Structure formats: structure tokens, C-alpha cells
């Protein structure tokens, strides 16, 4: 007995040391690229409140849902949406088979490389480009096309693969939330089938947690093999008031936290932060012309006006890229 007790106490000590080390590991700064300031403080205070067992704001892990816009929130949307760069490359490749595109918008602007004119056609114009360049493919063919393009394309100013243009502080935030029991979802105006091939690798977000705009699909048998065929018709536009609708459709419960950067994210933040209990709404303000691009009210991509005006009264955190982030992109 004595020997067993002694062993038990020594094992207890070892286990204690191991737990202490583990706890210290967890307590290492989860947001090393975030400067001290109100945005960082709001994030940490929120996470500590909802995860504190027995605390007044504790939320069960199953209810810990966080939603993130993608373009301009998780990765760069300048000088244009990444998906638009993909589409323009496809339009150019397919143009010889479509002489009529030279006179028809938004194709004519796309072929001229006139981004402002393309952007002026809005989300629906972008989706029309997407449909025209990809309808008739199967979902698997399309995923391979996206993967191939991502492997070879480079960001025009950063000169690196787009999948290395994610914001380092946001990657840390995603990981911090997941380590705190959150399920992280992407809720983007971008095409869902464009995002799913890379979100798991780049953001740690699996395909089933990606919500986006979509075109209709049809199940059919081709050459004896079942396939999902992509049709030239809009199914769902996941932008503005479509974002809470998409959240409701795909997740089925209201998130605790929402992260965006443009007025397209306004209703998502509004829906998220109007629920009971602790909520976190965060808008990234692109005010860093030195390290990225400074833009807000007048930008073709990621316009932010109403969000800037109303964030203070709605209790949303404005994150200043310039002041709140130690670095923007991961080191090469």
C-alpha cells in the first residue's frame, strides 16, 4: 500500500506538472500579431466570457458559432476579388469560342481588363461572368480547375500565390476561436464552389462550414457515372440581407460572433449581435496604404460606409489594420 501510495503521489505530481505545462501552453499569446488595443481587448474579453465555466455569460460549446466574411476579411480583395481574377483568366481563355463577348457586358469590360466597369455590374454581373465561363462543367471538374489556377496564379502586387495572401492576424483569430471551442464558418458573397477547394488548407475551415453564393446544380448520370452538373442559373446570392438568410439556411442557429469588412456584411453583424447574451461584431477597416491598400467608402470592392458610421452606436469593434495589426501577411 505504502509503495502504491507513493507511486500514486509521484504520478499525481507528474500529471500536475504536465497539466501546468499544458495550461501554460494554452495561455501563450493566441494573438501574437495583434497589438494591444480595444479591438484585441474586446476579442479576448468576449472569448473569456463565453468560455468561463459557471460564469454569467458561459455558452455551451455547441452554441459557439463564429462567422467570417472572406474577401477583405480573411484575405485581400484588392486590386480585385480573387475570384474575379480567376474569372477574367477564364474569360480570356474562352473568348475565341465566343466572339459575341466583345460587344456584350460584362464580358466586353472583362476582356478589356476594365475592372471598374466590371465591378459596376455588381454581384449579379460577377455571377453572370462566373456562370458563362463555367456552366456545363461538373462540380469535380470545376474544383480541379480552381485548384489548378490557384497553384499557378500569383497576386499582382504581392507576387505570391493567392492562398498565401490570407491575413496573419485573422488566421490567428480563427485558430484562437477554434481552440476556444468555436465552430468557424465562412459566409461570403463569393462562390461557394470557388472557396471550398482551398478553405480547409488555408483557413482550417472544412467545406461543410463554407457558405457562399451559388449557381444551381443538377444530379445526372453521364456515361454511367453520377455527376453534379453546374447550371447557368443563380441559386443563391450570399450578400447583404442574404447573409443572415444563408446563416439560417445552412447553420440554423444565430452565431455569437461575426467578422466582416464591408457593408455587404452589415446585416450579418446586425443579425449576430442582436441576439441575447454576449455577442461580438467586428469590422476590419482597411486604413493601411503602406502595408496593403487604404479604402472604404469609395471602393468598388468591399465598400464600407454605413458600417463605419454605425459601428460605434451598435457596439461593433472597428479593427484598424494600421494600428491593431503588427503584421498583415504571413512572412513569405
Q: Contact residues for its own copies (CB under 8 A)? A: 7, 10-11, 14, 62, 65, 139, 183, 185, 192-193, 196, 200, 206-210, 214, 217-220, 225-226, 228, 235, 241-242, 244-245, 248-253, 267, 270-271, 274
**Cis peptide bond upstream of 106, omega within 30:** yes
* Smaller CB separation from its own copies, 137 or 320: 137
Q: How far is the CB of 8 from its own copies (least distance, A)?
A: 9
Q: How far is the CB of 60 from its own copies (least distance, A)?
A: 11
Give the 3-state secondary structure of residue 17. Answer: helix
Q: How far is the CB of 248 from its own copies (least distance, A)?
A: 5
Dist CA 14 CA 274 (whole Å): 47
* Smaller CB separation from its own copies, 69 or 270: 270
* Smaller CB separation from its own copies, 72 or 244: 244
Q: Is-contact 240 259, C-beta < 8 A?
A: no
* Smaller CB separation from its own copies, 226 or 332: 226
Q: How far is the CB of 266 from its own copies (least distance, A)?
A: 11
Q: How far is the CB of 31 from its own copies (least distance, A)?
A: 25
Q: How far is the CB of 111 from its own copies (least distance, A)?
A: 31
| C-alpha closest to that of 168 among 27, 323, 299, 321 | 321
* Smaller CB separation from its own copies, 7 or 179: 7
Q: How far is the CB of 207 from its own copies (least distance, A)?
A: 3
What residues contact residue 90 under an 8 Å CB cut-off, 6+ apart? 133, 134, 145
Instruction: Give DSSP secondary structure letters for 177-239.
Output: HHHTTPEEEEEEEEEHHHHHHHHHHHHS--GGGEEEEEEEEEEEEETTEEEEEEEEEEEE--S
* Smaller CB separation from its own copies, 169 or 212: 212
What residues contact residue 330 under an 8 Å CB cut-off, 6+ apart? 164, 166, 168, 171
Q: In what order do the strands lie in the sheet with 257-260?
A: 225-236, 210-222, 183-191, 65-68, 257-260, 280-285, 317-320
* Smaller CB separation from its own copies, 10 or 92: 10
Amino acid at each position: 500500500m505504502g509503495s502504491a501510495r507513493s507511486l500514486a503521489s509521484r504520478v499525481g505530481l507528474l500529471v500536475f506538472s504536465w497539466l501546468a505545462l499544458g495550461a501554460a501552453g494554452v495561455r501563450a499569446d493566441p494573438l501574437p500579431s495583434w497589438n494591444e488595443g480595444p479591438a484585441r481587448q474586446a476579442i479576448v474579453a468576449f472569448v473569456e466570457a463565453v468560455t468561463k465555466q459557471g460564469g454569467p455569460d458561459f455558452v455551451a460549446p455547441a452554441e459557439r458559432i463564429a462567422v467570417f466574411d472572406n474577401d477583405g476579411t480573411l484575405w485581400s480583395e484588392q486590386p480585385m476579388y480573387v475570384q474575379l481574377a480567376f474569372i477574367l483568366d477564364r474569360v480570356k481563355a474562352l473568348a475565341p469560342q465566343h466572339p459575341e463577348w466583345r460587344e456584350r457586358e460584362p464580358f466586353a469590360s472583362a476582356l478589356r481588363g476594365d475592372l471598374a466597369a466590371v465591378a459596376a455590374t455588381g454581384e449579379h454581373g460577377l455571377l453572370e461572368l462566373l456562370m458563362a465561363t463555367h456552366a456545363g462543367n461538373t462540380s469535380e471538374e470545376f474544383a480541379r480547375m480552381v485548384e489548378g489556377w490557384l497553384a499557378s496564379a500569383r497576386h499582382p502586387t504581392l507576387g505570391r500565390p493567392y492562398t498565401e495572401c490570407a491575413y496573419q492576424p485573422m488566421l490567428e483569430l480563427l485558430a484562437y476561436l477554434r481552440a476556444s471551442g468555436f465552430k468557424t464558418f465562412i459566409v461570403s458573397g463569393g462562390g461557394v464552389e470557388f472557396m471550398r477547394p482551398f478553405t480547409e488548407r488555408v483557413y482550417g475551415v472544412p467545406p461543410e462550414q463554407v457558405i457562399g453564393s451559388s449557381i444551381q446544380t443538377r444530379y445526372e448520370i453521364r456515361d454511367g457515372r453520377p455527376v453534379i452538373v453546374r447550371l447557368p442559373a443563380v441559386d443563391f446570392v450570399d450578400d447583404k440581407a442574404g447573409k443572415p438568410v444563408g446563416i439560417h439556411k445552412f447553420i440554423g442557429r444565430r452565431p455569437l460572433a461575426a467578422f466582416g469588412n464591408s457593408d455587404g456584411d452589415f446585416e450579418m453583424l446586425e443579425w449576430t449581435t442582436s441576439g441575447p447574451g454576449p455577442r461580438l461584431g467586428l469590422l476590419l477597416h482597411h486604413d493601411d496604404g503602406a502595408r496593403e491598400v487604404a479604402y472604404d467608402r469609395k471602393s468598388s470592392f468591399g465598400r464600407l460606409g454605413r458600417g463605419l458610421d454605425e459601428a460605434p452606436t451598435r457596439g461593433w469593434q472597428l479593427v484598424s489594420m494600421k494600428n491593431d495589426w503588427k503584421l498583415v501577411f504571413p512572412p513569405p
